[in-house]
Structure 1
Amino acid sequence: MQASNIVAVEGTVELAQPIIDRAARTDGSSPVSDQALLAAAQGQRRLLLFTEGDDTTVAVGVLGQGELDLVVDPAARGRGIGTTALHELLTRSGPDADLLAWAHGDNPAATALLSGAEFRPVRSLFRMALDPALLPAGATAPSVIPLPSGFELRTFDEDRPGDASAWVAVNTRAFASHPEQGRVTLADFALMRAEGWFDPADLFLLSAPDGAALAGFTWVKTLRDGAVTETELYAIGVDPDHSGHGLGRALLDVTLARMAQHAPSRVTLYVDGENERAVRMYEAAGFTIDTRSTQWRGPVRPQVSE
């Protein structure tokens, strides 16, 4: 079923945010990635608002850089709006487009929509959660967490020359094979730091023994909604040149100590399901898989032999 009275108009992240927030509260996870919103804010991807006859926005789509994101307002679901919006996004992407799209969490409607449009699953993403009671007891400061010899920990300093470019450099190296995180630019990083949740005290930088470059980092994303505080392990990155020193586990210990200082009611992280080494590290720290998301590629087109 398709909704016939839906119109797509160009929009902005600010206009789309209310629907994204409502969907996140209803579904338990954000329906659009941070990377997609950053790209839309910079004009690198198109953001479309899907409106009904009375100009009520009922869905949001983001298209570009080989990816699409689509979210339907929870109050407007079940009326074929998703089918109509997806058809419009595919039409605008062109007949030969090869696109990636996420179905976030346990979302049978998104799964049915994408499979019906001849997409196929290609990748998984786990959201893992930790019982806050398992965080370090007391007021253990991240700065006193034991580190391998020669490595030093400090927090990000906006006024320190080179901190931003150093973070981008080590992030690029640490996530060289990651299709989203590894593409973060200096401009992207600036936009991320402009977000209301950003706190430089939640971004820890690890200096290498020679002091010439960063060996890694860990970043906590803290969200507060009234009495509810959620701390998310936004990213841990280790430069490949410094692998094998136990830095990943040490940075995770730093992360948990910092999270404990926020006294959160929820503790989460996201990790690729195929990254078995990282999943095992998080499970050893007490994290368990909370939800599974699936990335889809499509539309699948029949092969033509000559």
Structure 2
Amino acid sequence: MSARIDVVEGASERALRIARALIAEVEAADGVSPVSDQALLAAAQGQRALLLFTDRGDADRGSREAGADLESADPVAVGIVGQGEVDLAVRPAARRRGIGAAALAALLSRADGDLLAWAHGENPAAEALLAGAGFAPVRSLYRMALDPALLPDDGRDPLSLPAPTDLRLRAFDPARPADAAAWVRANAAAFATHPEQGRITESDFALMRDEPWFDADDLILLAEASGDELAGSTWIKTVRDDAGVECELYAVGVRPEYAGRGLGKLLLDVTLARMAQHSPDRVSLYVDGENERAVRMYEHASFTVDSRSRQWARPASSGVDDTMDA
């Protein structure tokens, strides 16, 4: 089946709002977000291209400048491409009409070099689409869930949990510029080998703190008692919507020089105690499937694998024709 699409390219504020709304619609239908927060941040900063796709039926395929047709746009898909990655989300009602293949071809026509893409959750259609475009699976990501009833119920303050004498637990302070810089340094060190998390800059971090879900009390720092540097941190993303309250363990990390001291377990205990204060309906986290040590730690805390996603890669020399008629 072929599909004819128009493309509106550009990350204006309105385009980003439309994209986020479509992504939220897909997440509500599929149970997992089709686009990473990092991809949206990069698009908002102009580091990656944001494309909205509209179905024009038999109309000629075209391309418009950002915002030119947004007033009447009812996009059927949204894509982000750049920095060696491609993301695509197709509205559930528009699937099985060739929209995905047409949109992916448009995204690939704007990309050079090796490419990475995610098929989020159990998604045979997305994986078939990527395989047909010359991608092959290279990495797995687990979404793990915890029964909220298993969160600690003793009402303890997460900041009061016992930490080593040379360290102290405290919440992130937005009024202290040193906190932001210290978190970025500690995060980069803790995730030095992670392809997404370890690349967060101070500008990225500032945009993340502008997100409506951000709560400074949900970002807990394990700081050196004698200064501003951090040994590690844990960050909870708490989202409240019509479906209730979900707490996601957004990022927890320990600097390599502090490894072997049980700080990962301490920060996980801090995380669960803080989550309990929100009385969530859902508790989740994402972890690389190949990170067996972390998976075991979360399983020991009674998390179970809820879904599996796979990252796919396509070398620049794949030889696949990206101009295929979808």
Normalised TM-score (structure 1) = 0.95
Alignment correspondent of 1:247: 263
Q: Aligned ranges for residues 261-272 of structure 1 at < 5 Å?
A: 261-272=277-288
3-state SS of paired residue (1:92): coil
Pair 1:77-2:95 in alignment = yes
Task: Tell me the distance in 2 between the aligned counterparts of 1:194 and 1:56.
Answer: 26
Q: Unmatched 5+ residue regions in structure 1?
A: none
Quick one: which amino acid aligns to residue 224 of structure 1? R
Conserved 8 A contact 1:67-1:99? yes
Q: Find the residue that maps to 1:38 and give its secondary structure.
A: helix
Give the alignment of 1:16-27 within 5 angstroms: 16-27=19-30
- Superposition deviation, residue 156 in structure 1: 0.4
Shift of 1:57: 0.9
Cα distance in 1 for residues equivalent to 2:250 and 2:110: 32
User: How many Å apart are 1:56 and its aligned residue?
Assistant: 2.9
* 2:122 equivalent among 96, 99, 106: 106
The one-letter code sitting in structure 2 at the alignment partner of 1:169 is R
| Structure 1 range deviating more: 57-66 or 13-22 | 13-22
Distance in 2 (alpha carbons) for counterparts of 1:192 and 1:155 = 16
SS at match of 1:79: coil
Once residues 89 and 212 of structure 1 are traced to their aligned partners in structure 2, the CA distance between those partners, rounded to angstroms, is 43
Q: How does 1:5-24 map to 2 (within 5 A)?
A: 5-11=4-10, 12-24=15-27
In 1, Cα distance between equivalents of 2:228 and 2:175: 18
Is 2:310 the counterpart of 1:294?
yes
For residue 245 of structure 2, give the secondary structure of its aligned residue in structure 1. strand
For these two proteins, the number of residue pairs brought into alignment is: 300
RMSD: 1.5
Please state how far the C-alpha of 1:143 moved relative to its aligned partner.
Answer: 1.5
Structure 2 distance, partners of 1:212, 1:234, is 22
Q: What's the counterpart of residue 62 of structure 1? A: 80
Corresponding residue number in structure 2 for 1:88: 106
SS in 2 for 1:182: helix
| Superposed CA offset, 1:34-88 (max 9, x none) | 0000000000000001112284311101000000000111111110000111111
Q: Find the partner of 2:42 among 39, 43, 47.
A: 39
Aligned to 1:203: 219
Instruction: Please state if 1:177 is matched with 2:188.
Output: no
1:120 corresponding residue in structure 2:
136
Match of residue 32, structure 2, among 26, 29, 42 = 29
Aligned mates of 1:212, 1:156 — CA distance in 2:
11
Q: Quote the Cα distance in structure 1 between the aligned partners of 2:318 and 2:141.
A: 28
5+ residue gaps in structure 2?
58-72, 320-326
Residue identity matched to 2:90: V
Structure 1 match to 2:64? none
Residue 54 of structure 2 is aligned with which of 47, 51, 55?
51
Identity %: 63
Structure 1 residues 209, 108: closer, same or farther in 2, change over 3 A?
same
CA distance in 1, matches of 2:137, 2:296: 23
Distance 2:226 2:177 in 1: 18
Question: In the aligned structure 1, how far is the partner of 2:242 from the partner of 2:133?
Answer: 40
Aligned partner of 2:62 in structure 1 is none
